Amino acid sequence: MAHAASGSVCVAGVNGRKEYRVRELAEPISHYTDAVEASGLLFVSGCVAVDTGGRLVEGDVVVQTRQVFANIGAILEAAGAGFADVVKVTVYLLDIDDRPRINAVRQEVFGAARPASTLVEVTRLAVAGARVEIDAVAHIGER
């Protein structure tokens, strides 16, 4: 078991891939890890607005989106990456009309970087009360 950034664990996986588990984040609710590194890419699992104890952060879609990006940021940092390295995001919203409201948060987080993006409206998410879920792919290069 190799340690990545403080508080995270990087485990060598199958076929040369690395699995990241960030201890400061809530435990995954199923059989998955926070992120997987393979072939120079970091695949970040879908994140919802939960705190370190796995409790949903109360608030509107903007508040939840900020928490989602904070969680993604912790995962990226654990792998030695940042938001400038993100090349693709998929955003899942309960209400597609919330897109303009979360756009300002996206602009704050990514700054001048513009990842490829897909937006999908869904009927519900895995955590009751969650209004937004985001997954990401970052280019981190071969190590």
State how far the alpha carbon of 73 is from the alpha carbons of 1, 15, 64, 100, 121, in Å: 22, 26, 14, 22, 23
Predicted confidence (pLDDT) at residue 125 exceeds the cutoff of 90: yes
Q: List, in sequence order, every residue forming a beta bridge with 37; answer none if it has no partner.
A: 18, 42
Residue 102 identity:
I
How many whole angstroms separate alpha carbon 8 and alpha carbon 2?
9
Report the 10 Å Cβ neighbour count for 109: 18
Residue-range domains of the chain with CATH: 2-139 (3.30.1330.40)
Give pLDDT tens digits for 19-76: 999 988 877 777 888 999 999 999 999 999 999 899 999 999 999 999 999 999 999 9
Predicted confidence (pLDDT) at residue 142 exceeds the cutoff of 80: no
Using pLDDT thresholds of 50, 70 and 90, give the confidence band for residue 10.
low
Q: For residue 115, give the 3-state DSSP assignment.
A: coil
77 DSSP 8-state letter:
H
